[in-house]
């Protein structure tokens, strides 16, 4: 696999790279950011997301805790009620941020949790215990679902679990196993998904609207349109080149990835401090009102995204451009194309050059005659002041027949 740092970047996939970084930074801080990459077959959605595994930073957990308990804030049934000294005694360990995948043959048991078979079949000391599934194990990390539209279509049960997990930040999950007590634990997982809206069974928002709304951002992949980039991609993927690289590098890790990892840790530190200025917050709120948006998740995501975006771009404060850049990502799956375009353009003319000087804007004003306030030039007499003969008038009596 080509390391994340070496993947070819072009206009159409740039925003996915940014989203991936933003989500990793946010996850590291403990606030999930759910992202969804949509695009045509073979445009590299899955490749980029899987390659991100190479840049994931480490997280610290209580030693041996499969729920990835944060030593500061333990949440799993086992460590939740322990005192600080008890926890200190257990010790901590560093593991890479979890990156797990839900496959299409997944069952509710493997995703949420089920009885621990190895303990149950232990010949010396059998025991009935829960084994957390993929989602609880991915706590403080990333859960990747390829072809999410297919999953939503074929496994409504898993979709329901995802709705719970992604509903709030952090979400929660309930593990049920007949005969054992129900366990409910908070999980903070960033869900990454990829899908091709053009393949069966169609785009996610047509299959499970709620699930599609749970994704904070959706990124539409474009195809590369430059010959150079394509040639470079071919080269990277050619057999000879791969072999050479394999021979050259003895270490698994690419130095470029290491740079990313360091940056992510740095950015996460910044993100913990950063906040959106009030005027931008008001700006976002006004967008919500003005364009009749439905889901509040949209503007929450806009706020979260704007801050993250400014950080990975290296700004020390959030700019209006950070917010406007988020608009298509946050809203494309939530509103129809017309509304989105109106929002983008409206926002643009406020911030950019073509405000005063275009004539087209003026031309359009003419068509807004409907609300002309002085459409009725004259005042009318009230009914009670009129004589009977004047009460009813038809088109004929009102239209002067001769001049």
Q: Which 137-176 positions form the footprint of another protein (CB under 8 A)?
A: 154-155, 157
Establish if 382 lies at the interface with another protein (CB under 8 A).
Answer: yes
Q: Say if residues 154 and 104 touch (Cβ distance below 8 Å).
A: yes
Among 383, 401, 402, 403, binds another protein (CB under 8 A): 383
Which stretches of 238-292 are DSSP H helices?
Answer: 239-248, 255-273, 278-290
Q: List Cα–Cα distances, 69 to 27, 78, 181, 185, 324, in angstroms.
A: 14, 10, 21, 11, 37
Residues 315-334 that bind another protein (CB under 8 A): 325, 328
Q: Are 288 and 299 in contact (CB under 8 A)?
A: yes
367 binds another protein (CB under 8 A): yes
Footprint (CB under 8 A) of another protein, residues 52-111: 104-108
Shortest CB 113 distance to another protein, Å: 13
Question: Mask 117-136, x = binds another protein (CB under 8 A)?
Answer: x--xx----x-x--------
Residue 176's alpha-carbon distances to 69, 184, 197, 203, 376, in angstroms, are 20, 9, 33, 31, 69
Smallest distance from another protein to CB 187, Å: 22
Could you give the CA distance from residue 73 to residue 139 in angstroms, rounded to a whole number?
A: 13
Distance separating alpha carbons of residues 152 and 115, to the nearest angstrom = 25
Q: Kindly state the smallest distance separating residue 299's Cβ from another protein, in Å.
A: 19
Options 184, 228, 354, 355; binder of another protein; rule CB under 8 A: 354
C-alpha dihedral (293, 296, 301, 302), degrees to nearest 10: 40
CB nearer to another protein: give 119 or 245.
Answer: 119
Q: How far apart are the first and last CA of the chain?
A: 86
Q: Which of 75, 79, 181, 63 is CA-nearest to residue 128?
A: 181
Contacts of 28 (CB under 8 A, 6+ apart): 57, 59, 97, 264, 265, 268
Beta carbon of residue 246, minimum distance to another protein (angstroms, whole number): 33
Taking the CA atoms of residue 108, residue 110, residue 111 and residue 115 in that order, the dihedral angle to the nearest 10 degrees is 80
**Segment 222-281, which members bind another protein (CB under 8 A)?**
222-223, 225
CB of 54 to another protein, least distance (A): 27
Span interacting with another protein, options 235-243, 267-275, 304-312, 370-378, rule CB under 8 A:
370-378
Those residues whose C-beta lies under 8 Å from the C-beta of residue 27, and which sit 6 or more positions away, are 33, 97, 140, 141, 142, 188, 189, 190
Q: Does 11 bind another protein (CB under 8 A)?
A: yes
Choice from 372, 401, 402, 403 touching another protein (CB under 8 A): 372
Pick from 85, 394, 402, 403 the residue near another protein by CB under 8 A: 394
Pair of tokens at residue 374:
């002085």
Residue 344 binds another protein, judged by CB under 8 A: yes
User: Closest separation between CB of residue 286 and another protein, Å?
Assistant: 15
**By three-state DSSP, how is residue 390 classified?**
helix
179 close to 128: Cβ distance less than 8 angstroms:
yes
Could you tell me the two tokens for 155?
């496994």
Of 384, 401, 402, 403, the one binding another protein (CB under 8 A) is 384
Part of the chain binding another protein (CB under 8 A), chosen from 24-32, 52-60, 294-302, 364-372: 364-372
CA atoms of 29 and 308, how far apart (whole Å): 11
Which of these segments, 71-79, 140-148, 239-247, 394-402, binds another protein (CB under 8 A)? 394-402
The residue within the footprint of another protein, chosen from 83, 124, 273, 379 (CB under 8 A), is: 379
Q: How far is the CB of 396 from another protein (least distance, A)?
A: 9
Residues between 14 and 43 with contacts to another protein, criterion CB under 8 A: 15, 40
Q: Which of 173, 340 has the CB closer to another protein?
A: 340
Contact of 333 with 36, CB cutoff 8 Å: yes
Q: Is 294 in the site for another protein (CB under 8 A)?
A: no
Q: Which of residues 204-223 bind another protein (CB under 8 A)?
A: 206, 222-223
For another protein, the binding residue among 94, 251, 316, 371 (CB under 8 A) is 371
Is residue 200 involved in binding another protein (CB under 8 A)?
yes
Nearer to another protein, 240 or 357 (CB): 357
User: Quick one: which of 220, 219, 213 has its CA closest to 298?
Assistant: 213
The helix/strand/coil state of 200 is coil
């Amino acid at each position: 696999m080509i390391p994340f740092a070496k993947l070819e970047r072009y206009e159409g996939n740039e925003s996915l790279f940014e989203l991936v970084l933003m989500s990793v930074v946010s996850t590291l801080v403990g606030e999930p950011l759910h992202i969804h990459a949509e695009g045509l077959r073979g445009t590299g959605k899955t490749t980029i997301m899987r390659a991100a595994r190479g840049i994931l930073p480490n997280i610290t957990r209580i030693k041996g805790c499969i729920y990835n308990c944060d030593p500061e804030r333990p949440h799993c049934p086992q460590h939740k009620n322990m005192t600080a000294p008890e926890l200190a005694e257990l010790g901590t360990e560093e593991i890479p941020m979890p990156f797990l995948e839900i496959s299409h043959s997944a069952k509710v048991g493997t995703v949420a949790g089920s009885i621990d078979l190895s303990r149950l079949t232990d010949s010396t000391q059998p025991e009935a215990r829960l084994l957390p599934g993929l989602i609880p194990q991915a706590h403080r990390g990333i859960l990747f679902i390829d072809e999410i539209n297919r999953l939503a279509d074929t496994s409504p049960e898993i979709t329901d679990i995802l709705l719970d997990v992604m509903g709030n930040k952090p979400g929660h999950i309930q593990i049920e196993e007949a005969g054992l007590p129900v366990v409910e634990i908070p999980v903070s997982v960033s869900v990454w998904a990829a899908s091709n809206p053009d393949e069966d069974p169609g785009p996610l928002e047509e299959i499970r609207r709620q699930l599609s709304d749970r994704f904070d951002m959706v990124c539409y992949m474009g195809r590369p349109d430059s010959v150079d980039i394509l040639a470079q991609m071919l080269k990277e993927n050619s057999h000879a080149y791969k072999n050479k690289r394999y021979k050259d590098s003895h270490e698994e890790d690419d130095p470029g990835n290491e740079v990313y990892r360091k940056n992510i840790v740095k950015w996460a530190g910044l993100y913990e401090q950063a906040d959106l200025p009030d005027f931008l917050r008001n700006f976002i709120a006004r967008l919500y009102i003005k364009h009749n948006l439905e889901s509040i998740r949209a503007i929450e995501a806009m706020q979260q995204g704007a801050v993250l975006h400014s950080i990975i771009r290296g700004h020390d404060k959030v700019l209006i451009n950070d917010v406007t850049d988020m608009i298509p990502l946050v809203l494309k799956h939530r509103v129809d194309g017309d509304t989105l375009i109106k929002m983008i353009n409206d926002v643009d003319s406020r911030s950019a050059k073509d405000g005063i000087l275009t004539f087209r804007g003026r031309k359009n004003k003419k068509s807004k005659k409907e609300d002309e306030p002085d459409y009725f030039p004259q005042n009318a007499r009230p009914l009670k002041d009129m004589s009977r003969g004047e009460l009813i008038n038809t088109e004929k009596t009102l239209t002067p027949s001769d001049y």
